[in-house]
Amino acid sequence: MKVAVASRSFSKHPVLRAELQARFPDATFNDAGKSLAGAELVAFLQGHDAAVTALERLDDSLFDALPELTVIGKYGVGLDMVDLDAMRRRGIRLGWTGGVNRRSVSELVISMAIALLRHVPQGNLEVRASGWRQLQGRHLSGRCVGIIGCGHIGQDLTPLLKAFGCTVLAHDIRDFADFYAAHGVEKVGLDDLLGRADVVTLHLPLDSSTVNILSADKLALMRSDAILINCARGGLVDEAALKTMLMTGKLAGAGLDVFNGEPPEDRELLALPNLLATPHIGGSAEEAVLAMGRAAIAGLVQAVVPQPGSEVWRAAGLA
């Protein structure tokens, strides 16, 4: 196969480059470091029958322009940018591995929870501005944490929270009864979770059933001393409503690794002292990058046409 790597982080990673070239010597890399979309993405992928992609949008128009493209190796676990049905209709194969970056995301969630509970973002800003006062926070230990979406990442996060003595609530449309029983997780409805949890963390794909799942009305169910963490996908949370709640003290804090538009442009939101914002780094630990890259390389060979009812179909929220 002649492989094109659209992903910027894969392209600049020396180990992943070497491992891909060992199997596909004629691979083409995105050495310009550009975020490729539309006509530029089509031009980059032309002449290749396989591609490694990350956040690039793969849809009908792209596949129509690239009839020679038959295999995609997915770098990362998100699928909201991939039209699986368009791939199925054309017989294009996809190599995808779920949960390959789960520990990287889980550790970021833990770090955000501790930082927000201890007012680290606010304290950092005050010291940098020559302030010096002790801010009294709270432990993560013993807190009630609500996990919305208890798939790969939620299930990886749970034992880490249990090590802190946390009560863990979970809400998911799927039933993980055996996992819940084994780890002492309480399965609850969404409204119940939002009303009880000290920390709410999102781990859902973005699809028609989850977009704006935390609307203004749902956010209003959270306690004023609670914090919200979103290391999943932008579009799950009403950012305008969240900003108002943070500004008015109706929510204690929020940690956002993802935004409705990236990079975010709402400077008023980003300036809030009770917001911890990061640039979509949930899967950017060195260990996760290697795992995602190796899964994408293996996926070029092990790829299959996505089908309704398959794991990838379910992960994309299509079944």
Active site residues: 233, 262, 280
Helix, strand or coil, per DSSP, at residue 52? strand
d(CA 142, CA 284): 29
d(CA 240, CA 191): 20
d(CA 237, CA 222): 13
- Sheet strands (E) in 40-179: 50-53, 71-74, 93-95, 144-148, 167-171
* H or E stretch covering 110: helix 102-117
d(CA 282, CA 315): 18
Helix, strand or coil, per DSSP, at residue 50? strand
Query: What is each CA distance from 115 to 159, 258, 290, in whole angstroms?
Result: 19, 17, 27
d(CA 52, CA 21): 13
d(CA 124, CA 128): 6
d(CA 161, CA 181): 15
Helix, strand or coil, per DSSP, at residue 230? strand
- Give which of 246, 241, 195 is closest to 221, Cα–Cα: 195
Residue 317 CB-density burial (10 A; 0-12 exposed, 13-18 middle, 19+ buried): middle
Bond prior to 121 in cis (omega within 30° of 0): no
CA dihedral 73, 8, 205, 66 (to 10 degrees): -50
